[in-house]
Homo-oligomer: A and B are copies of this chain.
Amino acid sequence: MKRSDRLTAEGVLFTDQYQLTMAQLYYRMGLHERRAQFDYFFRSYPDYGSHRAGYCIFAGLEWLLDWMQEAHFRDRDIEHLRNQTGRTGRPLFDEGFLAWLRANGTFDGITMRAIPEGRVVHPNVPLAVVQGPLATAQILETPLLNHLNYPTLIATKAARIRDAGRGRLLLEFGLRRAQERGASAGARAALIGGADFTSNVGISHVLGYPPKGTHAHSMVEVFMALGEGELGAFRAYAEVYPDDCLLLVDTINTLESGIPNAIRVFEELRRKGHKPVGIRLDSGDLAHLSIQAARMLDDAGFPDTIIVLSNQLDELVIWQIITQIENEAPRYGVDPDRLIHRLVYGVGTRLITSQGASALDGVYKLTAVEDSGEWVPAIKISETPEKTLNPGNKLVWRLYDRRGKATADLLGLEDEDPRTMERILLHHPTEHTTYRILQRDEISEIEPLHVDLLDRGRPVYTLPSIEEIRQQRRADLKRLDPGVKRLINPHVYHVSLTERLWNLKQELIAATREERPRSRAPASVG
């Protein structure tokens, strides 16, 4: 796509058609400027088939806000809409609506609060709460979901991969297999969730991280085709990058050619006073080869060189590699812990596409609408009880137990504050008879999770740097029960409702079934 077309494709029209047809309907019915509230939440953790997540890492907010600030209906966008016709050939959008859109089609009327990026988050918890004029809050649905679902999916995968790698250096290598321009958001999310660096040069520069990478097989093949062989290629690399020499050793034969040639070049570098960095293994039995590589490098006097592993890695493959090293390394006189500590993981495809679970099921649901200056809670009932909405204007609290570990996320109504309660009833979101009661002294901390981001379009929050976001992620993961972090069959973390929210939900379900009028929420529209 040409750059000029990107402004059209990915500006304010980066939304679904039905958002615009609904916005026009609200306009025609005089409802377009009524304030409405929508919750963004996901329904279930990513399920990778043989394993699944027990937590997610929230990401994507900053770029959503960037998009909201830049997107507005330009004359050109209005012209595009003006040319749309319905089945009879008449214009689909009328001039009154288009004039309103041109004058009011920005996100300046949106108030938003959200859980900050990098935080551990769970299903059915409102991660972002949007209040604004019904028409623009509706148009925002698709771009909001687009900007939050994918980054949260990738940050989560990165956190799992980092955990499997026992916190060793993790490099994001996925640009070539990413979903075209989605690569940028994917790399940022990976950096938030667990990757230390990315090979993607452009996004590294934008985010202020040095990009990482050394060389590919093709470099060795060039030298081979020109008759200089693998050793010639390695020597050329060492000559150009004497202090950054990391060699890919599997182009011909890892153990018989690649590692011996690398060691020869490392010895030459050492004689010239340089410290070689390490090797990269990109094929074969990575556990076995890394043991043999460690042995050969140790024997040659290079015990501090690193060993980068790549090739279709993910959390399970890394877990398997480490397990195999623990079993197999002692047999070759290699200390498994030392070897595990010199490993670096380069993870491409399976991180940036979240292989096994290629989408997060995040949704954006109407929870309340203004009527005569008051919020009327809205609900969507489903035949699957888990999919029935938690209605109204909700706040989210995280409860920590006496050990300081997070024990539950509690959704309550906006005028409730569990910090003032002597005993807290945590109601299961769908099971009538399932609840638990916590006494105040069983809880070491009650933390509100939402922060205010936008007040009618005006930013009221200083966005954290990626370093700060990562610190938050590390802190949250430390306060998460190890069982919840298990790669396979994790413990189910509790997300609960306060008693009042539970009661409101039941009342609304009954009213909907009987088509009774709704009760009003206590708070007036802000």
Contacts and interface: CB of A to CB of B under 8 A. Distances in A.
Given A353-B359, A368-B225, A517-B227, A213 B16 contact: yes
A49 interface: yes
A349 B149 CA distance: 11
Interface in A214-258: 214-219, 221-222, 224-227, 229, 236-237, 239-241, 243-244, 251-252
B8 A214 contact: no
Nearest to A219: B22
Nearest to A29: B236
Interface string A145-182: 11101110000000000000000000001011111111
Contact of A138 (B6, B218, B377): B218
Contacts of A200: 14-17
A13 interface: yes
B66 A2 contact: yes
A415 interface: no
Contact of A358 (B18, B358, B381): B358
Nearest to A144: B176
B180 A147 contact: yes
Contacts of A2: 66, 70
A216 B22 contact: yes
Contact of A80 (B80, B141, B205, B360): B205
A87 B277 contact: yes
A379 B222 CA distance: 9
Contacts of A495: none
Interface of A: 1-3, 5-6, 8-11, 13-22, 24-26, 28-29, 31, 36, 38, 49, 60, 63, 66, 70, 80, 84-88, 90, 92, 134, 138, 141-142, 145-147, 149-151, 173, 175-186, 188, 199-206, 210-219, 221-222, 224-227, 229, 236-237, 239-241, 243-244, 251-252, 277, 283-284, 349, 353-356, 358-362, 365-366, 368-369, 371, 376-383, 512, 515, 517-518
21 contacts: A1-B185, A1-B206, A13-B201, A16-B175, A16-B176, A16-B201, A21-B215, A22-B219, A25-B237, A26-B222, A31-B226, A142-B175, A145-B177, A146-B183, A150-B177, A151-B180, A177-B362, A224-B378, A225-B369, A349-B358, A353-B359
Q: Which 6 pairs, one residue from A and one from B, show the smallest C-beta to C-beta distance?
A: A182-B182, A179-B182, A18-B213, A17-B213, A179-B179, A181-B181
